Amino acid sequence: MGMMRQYELVDRVKRYNPNTDEDLLNRAYVYAMRAHGTQKRASGDPFFAHPLEVAALLTDLKLDDATIVAAVLHDTVEDTEATLEEIENLFGPDIRRLVDGLTKIKKLDLVSKKAAQGENFRKLLLAIVDDIRVLLVKLADRLHNMRTLHYMAPEKRLRIAEETVEIYAPLAGRMGMQELREELEELAFRHIKPEAHETITKRLEEVTQREGRVISEIENDLKAKLAERGIEAQVYGRRKRPYSIWKKMERKSVSFEQLSDIFGFRVIVDAPEDCYRVLGIVHMTWPMVPGRYKDYISTPKQNDYRSLHTTVVGPGRQRVELQIRTDKMDRVAEFGIAAHARYKDGRTAGAIGEADESRAYQWLRRTVDLLAEGDNPEEFLEHTKLELFHDQVFCFTPKGRLIALPRGATPIDFAYAVHTDVGNTAVGARINGRIAPLLTELQNGDEVEITRAEGQAPPAAWESLAVTGKARAAIRRATRAAVRRQYAGLGRQILERAFQRAERPFSDDKLKAALKRLARTAVDDVFAAVGRGEMFSGDVVKAVYPDLEPEKRLALDAKAKAPAGKGWFELRQGGENLKFKLPEETPGADAIPIRGLGGDLPVRFAPGGGAVPGDRIVGILTPGEAVTIYPIQSPSLAAFDNEPERWLDVRWDLDDSRPQRFPARIMLNSINEPGSLAQITTTIAEHDGNIDAVQMVRPTPDFTDVTIDLTVWDLKHLSAIISELREKRVISRVERVVA
C-alpha cells in the first residue's frame, strides 16, 4: 500500500469535521515530512509513513484537529532535530503539550516484565492523563507498530507484544475502545503464542465452514422475528477472536470443543426500550442459558459500556451469544472515550458541563486531579483502580531498577528479588522515602529502599511471611545456616575447654587430622555435632589424642559438674573410687560466655523460672536443642546428676552497649481487696520491670497467690523489685521462684 497523501488525510478529517483547519493540517504534514527527511522504518518504508498512518487511524475515531496534528508530529521531537519550542511557535501551546506528552511516554519505554529499566507507572499515567488525547494517539501509534511488528528484530517483537497485552490493550479496554483492544490483543497473541494462535485460527476456520450457514440463518431468523413485531433492527453475526477464545480456554481450562459461544451476534436498535423488547422476543423464541444474562444498560460499566448480554440455544443446538444495544451505545462500545470527542480544545467542545462528560473521561479527570495533588502513589492507584496489573505490583529501587512482584508482596520479598544478600541483611525499609515496617504490603509504583546491617540473619518467622518462593527458599537456607553457625560456635567453645582440661593443645588442623576417626567430613561438622549434643567433647579429645593418659581420660568423662561448695568429684569406675579436683567455684574465664536470646549461641532459659545476670549459672545440653541455662540453685538440675557430659560451664557476658532483659518468675501472696493487683503491676512497671504473664489462684477467700513472669536487667534489678513489693501493705509474701 502506498503512502497516504496530504490531501487524503485532509479529506478524511473533512468527512466528519467540515470546519477543519486545513492550513494547520497541511503545515503539520510538511513540517513532519521535512523533519523526518530520509529516515527509514524497519520495513524499508519512509519513516514519515508511520505518523501518517497513525493520524489516519485517528480519523476513524473522528478526532479533533489538534489530536490529528499531534499524531503527525508525535515522533519529531524524539527522533529528529525538531524541538518543543519550535512546535509551540508553529502550532501553538495545545499541540506542544500533546507532543510533549507523547515524547515523555516514548522515553518511558513502558513498564514491561522484561524491561530492565522501568519508569514509574505514575509518570506514564501523568503523561497520558494530562490530556486524554495523548492516550488516543499513543494507542493508535501502538496499533500501527503492532501491525508492522514482523519487520522488527525477533527479540524486540516479544517484548513489544507482551507490553501491548499487559498495558496498552487493557488501557484501551479501560477507555471502552473494544475494537482497538481486540485488535491489539490479536496482533500480540500472534507473536507471544504463535502455535496456539495458529491452532485456534485453523479450528475457527473449520467451524465457520461447517457452521457458516447457521450464522446467516440465525441473522435472517432474528431479523424476521423482530420485523413481525415491528422492530427495525440490524443484526450482525461475528466470530470470536482467537485471543479471547484462547483466554477463555485457559481461564476455564476447557478444550476448544467444550467452548459454547464461538459465534456472537449484535442486534442494533433505535431506542433503549427496544433493547428490552428484543430481549423478550429472543427469550420467547429460543431457550436462554441460565446465568448468562447481564444488563449493562441499567448499570453501565465504569467505562460507559452499555448493552444487554444473553446467551440462547439457537437453531442446530448451537449456543449463540447476543449483545443488544442502540446505535449510540454501539458507537461508545467501539470507540469508547473517543466517541465523546469532547476535549479541552474549546473550539470543538464549546462549554461542556461535567454532567455531559462520559464517565470514563470523568474518571480520567479525577485521576489528573489526584495526580496533581498526589504525594501518595498508593492512594492514587487505589483511586484510579487501573487494574492493569491486578496480580502484580511493579516497584522500583532508588536507582530506578524495576522489580516486578506478586500482589501482597512486602519489602522482604523486594529485598530478596534485588539480591539474596540484600534480603539476608535487611533490617528495615523506606517506602517512597518514609520509614515503613518490613511487612508493609507494597503497591504499584512504590520506590523501596532497604536498610541493611551486615552480620544479620533473617528471622525464621519471615519464611511464612514471604510471598515469593525465592525469598522463602533463601530465608530457609539462611536460617539453617545461622542456626548451624550458632551450634558450631557453641561446639567450638565446648571443645576448647575440653582440650584445656585434658591439658592438650587444640587447633583446627589437629581436628582435621582426626576427621576420619570421627566419621565427619569437615571441622565445622564436628563443632556443630558437639554443639547439638550429638557428639561428646571427651570423644573428640580422645580421637585427636588416642594416647591420652587414663587419668586425663577420666577427667574428661567427669565433666565439671560443680554444685556450690563441692571441690571434689568422685567417680566410680570398675569398682574403684577415683577423686578429681573440680574447677574453682567462681566460673573461670574459660566458662562459655552467655549473652541471651539474641546472642551468638543457641540458648534458652530454664522454663518456669528463668535465670538473670548475677545468678551463678550452668548450662545443660540437650541433643539437637538449644542449651538451657539454669541458676545453680535450681532443683531441676538434680535430674541431670547422672549425665555429667551434658553439663556446661557457662558465665554471663553482657554487652553494655546493647542491654538486654532476662526472664525471672516471682510468686506473691496478696490480700483480696479491690485494686491489689493494680498495685502490684504498677509497682513492677514503675521499677522498669516488664510483665510477660500473670497467673492467679485463690487458695482462701482472703488471699490470692499471684505468679508473675517478668523480664529484668539483672539480679540487682530483680531484688529491688522484690523488696519494693514487700513494702506494700496488700502483699504478705514475695519470693523468687527457681524451677
Domain 662-737 - what CATH class?
Answer: alpha beta
* % the chain with pLDDT above 90: 11
Q: Residues 225, 278: contact at Cβ < 8 Å?
A: no
Q: What is the DSSP string of 78-99?
A: HHSS--HHHHHHHH-HHHHHHH
Mean pLDDT computed over every residue of the chain: 78
Answer for the pair 322, 265: CB distance below 8 angstroms, yes or no. yes
Q: Could you tell me which of 60, 57, 62, 61 has the C-alpha nearest to residue 74? A: 57
- Which has more confidence, 115 or 211? 211
DSSP 289-310: PTT--EETTTS--TT----EEE
Strand partners, 395: 403
- For 208-339, CATH number out of 3.30.460.10, 3.10.270.10, 3.40.50.150, 3.40.50.2300 equals 3.30.460.10
Query: If you average pLDDT over residues 208-235, what whole number do you get?
Result: 83
- Three-state SS letters, 329-380: HHHHHHHHHHHCCCCCCHHHHCCCCHHHCCHHHHHHHHHHHHHHHCCCHHHH
Q: Which of 79, 88, 653, 705 is catalytic?
A: 79
Active site residue 78: yes
For residues 522 and 590, which has the higher predicted lDDT (pLDDT)? Answer: 522
Asked whether residue 96 carries a pLDDT value surpassing 70, the answer given is yes
* Fold type of domain 6-192: Hypothetical protein af1432 (1.10.3210)
For 230, counting Cβ atoms within 10 Å of its Cβ (0-12 exposed, 13-18 middle, 19+ buried), the class is exposed
pLDDT at 46 over 50: yes
Amino acid 355: pLDDT: 38
Residues 6+ apart with CB under 8 A from 675: none
Residue 445 backbone dihedrals phi, psi, to 5 degrees: 85, -5
pLDDT at 641: 82
Is residue 179 annotated as a catalytic residue, yes or no? Answer: no
- Predicted pLDDT of residue 423: 92
Region of poorest pLDDT, from 147-151, 192-196, 375-379, 690-694: 375-379
pLDDT digits (tens, 9 = 90+) for 331-354: 777 666 565 544 333 333 333 333
Judge if 208-339 and 391-467 fold alike in CATH terms.
no
| Chain Cα centroid distance, residue 214 | 48
Q: Domain locations in the chain?
A: 6-192, 208-339, 391-467, 479-581, 662-737
Quick: pLDDT tens for 59-84: 887 778 888 899 998 888 877 888 88
What's the rounded mean pLDDT across residues 112-133? 48
Catalytic entry in 22, 45, 78, 600: 78
Sort 123 into a burial class: Cβ within 10 Å, 0-12 / 13-18 / 19+.
Answer: middle
- Could you report the per-residue pLDDT of 430-487, keeping only the tens digit for each? 998 899 998 899 987 788 999 998 877 788 788 888 988 888 888 888 888 888 888 8
Lowest mean pLDDT: which of 102-116, 172-186, 196-210, 423-437?
102-116
What was the pLDDT predicted at 397? 82
* Range of 359-368, 471-480, 544-553, 573-582 with top mean pLDDT: 471-480
* CATH code that applies to domain 391-467: 3.10.20.30
Strand segments (E) across 380-474: 392-396, 402-406, 426-431, 434-436, 448-452
Confidence of residue 736 (pLDDT cuts 50, 70, 90): very high
Instruction: Look up the pTM and report it.
Output: 0.45
List, for residues 217-228, the tens digit of each pLDDT value. 888 888 888 898
Residue ranges in 164-193 assigned as alpha helix (H): 169-174, 178-192
The stretch 380-392 carries a mean pLDDT of 44
Residues 6+ apart with CB under 8 A from 157: 149, 150, 191
- Residues 433 and 583: their CA atoms lie apart, in Å, by 57
Q: Is the pLDDT of residue 308 over 50?
A: yes
Distance CA 90, CA 31 (A): 9
Say which DSSP state 46 is in: B
**pLDDT higher at 445 or 634:** 634
